Amino acid sequence: MKNPYRKTKIIFTIGPATMEEPMLEKLIHAGVDICRINMAHADHEWSRMIVRRVRSVCERVGRHIAIMMDVKGPEIRTGDVDKTFDLKKGDKILFTQKQGTASILEDGTLRVDTNYPDFHNDVEVGSTVLVDSGLVRLKVLEIKDGNILCEVVIPGPLGNRRHINLPGVFVNLPALTEKDKGDVNVGIEEGIDFYALSFVRKPEDLDIFHKYLEERGSKAHIIAKIEDQEAIRNLEDIIKASDGLMVARGDLGIECPFEDLPLIQSRAVDLCIQHAKPVIVATHMLESMTESPIPTRAEVSDVANAIRDQSDCVMLSGETTVGKYPLECIEVINRIADKMENRENEIGPVLRKDIVLNAPKSKMLRSAAYLASEMENSGIVVFTRKGLLAEKLASLRPHVPIYAFTDSEVLFRQLLILRGIEPFLMQFNDTDPEVTVLDAFSRLKERNWAHIGDPMVVISNVIAGARIIDTIQLRKIE
């Protein structure tokens, strides 16, 4: 059957092109699910204003979306540069510490600070240094007195505070920097739903972040961004330790051979589905639409492949922060998703076959999904307070719609990241579960997503004496 809603979720990054209320209204109406705030380019005052504005617009529109704060993590950047330097092949650059704004030395060498005190300890003569997403490639010539002398191999412009990559090098930086902690504290105060942590290298990085949130009473979920070779080596352990994964293809494509990217992406998506964790495919999804009202055919195929792989989310960055056509980007993804998801329903397997289910409850969910798929105009209704049932159902990737009802406002927004899950916030009647079921059916009829007589597989708990029993009910909409 055709789903009444889009399964694949859309994350947009907010910026000058999308921060005003009229545009936010249009994006929310168009179906965005999560708003991302990139703390690499945002201060605390602006972030607070944006969170409150998004929620205010959601209230007015009557459709709620989640908010994700993307914290910078352990990244290396160049220091202050008062003008852009046009580097040429063979030019020399000296990386220093705390010597101020970039300057030209007497021998013509460009001296630039970095924010990483141990830079000189992590590289060696002959190492490759990539600047500004790999646009500029340098080779280390000499390391002396804590300074690093490099030669330009691939030329390009060097502007202010550009990102530095060290392919294959373990960077001795903390998982959560002092800047990150300050940003996260603002997010906690504003009730952020998700944090995306940049440059996660090992599961312990996530343990540190989880502990930090727990100590401050936050229930936010942590999305691990994989962006270097060490993360790929530790991929499965990182997935297990996280609440979800982002395949950040920008830095990943710099740190790893670009021909490996499609394989890394597919492996990451499959592993996340197998572990019932949401997965986001990000970076350059519709990059040309920053300036053009229509995508390239290659971009259409890229988005389609992410949806075919059954990613939970696709994410837009520059396209919606500074792009000229943010609303058109959402409409393009809607069109691609509609075509790809309907095709999947027509020819794909009813459920994924690679999901290992050991627990009896998980096997029960699989049976419920099979049962729903056998009937016309059916769906699955699940009641959840922790989200585990919805996560497992989403990982099975059934063709039928999954309606997840919860009485937790925090969980409601966190369910928005899961592929194929349409969440509802609703009070539960703990003394009479039948009232809760009928209220859920009423919500579906109000949206015209279900009609009287349609079959629904209802997954819930019933109280039997002193015990709580998991149940599957086959019901008809009344």
Bridge partners (DSSP) of residue 106 are none
d(CA 474, CA 478): 13
Catalytic residue status for 36: yes
Tokens of 90: 């063979």
d(CA 75, CA 185): 19
Bridge partners (DSSP) of residue 68 are 36, 194
Alpha helix segments (H runs only) across 202-260: 203-215, 229-233, 235-241, 249-255
d(CA 181, CA 163): 20
Per the CB < 8 A criterion, the answer to whether 227 and 164 are in contact is: no
Q: Which of 48, 53, 77, 267 is catalytic?
A: 77
**Side by side, which strands form the sheet with 128-131?**
76-77, 163-165, 128-131, 136-144, 147-154, 92-96, 110-113, 103-104
d(CA 472, CA 470): 7
Decide: helix, strand or coil at residue 114. strand
Q: Which of 6, 72, 137, 225 is catalytic?
A: 225
What separation, in Å, do the N-terminal and C-terminal C-alpha atoms of the chain show? 21
Alpha helix segments (H runs only) across 18-118: 21-30, 44-61
Catalytic residue status for 361: no
d(CA 140, CA 124): 7
Q: For the residues of 410-476, what is the DSSP string, one character each?
A: HHHHHGGGSTTEEEEE----SS-HHHHHHHHHHHHHHTTSS-TT-EEEEEEEEEETTEEEEEEEEEE
Catalytic residue status for 89: no
Q: How many CA atoms lie within 13 A of 108 on its CB side?
A: 6
Catalytic residue status for 225: yes
* Phi and psi torsions of 434, nearest 5°: -65, -35
Q: Which of 6, 36, 392, 413 is catalytic?
A: 36
Indicate the residue type of 450. Answer: A
Q: How many CA atoms lie within 13 A of 198 on its CB side?
A: 22
Give me the active site residues, please: 36, 77, 225, 283
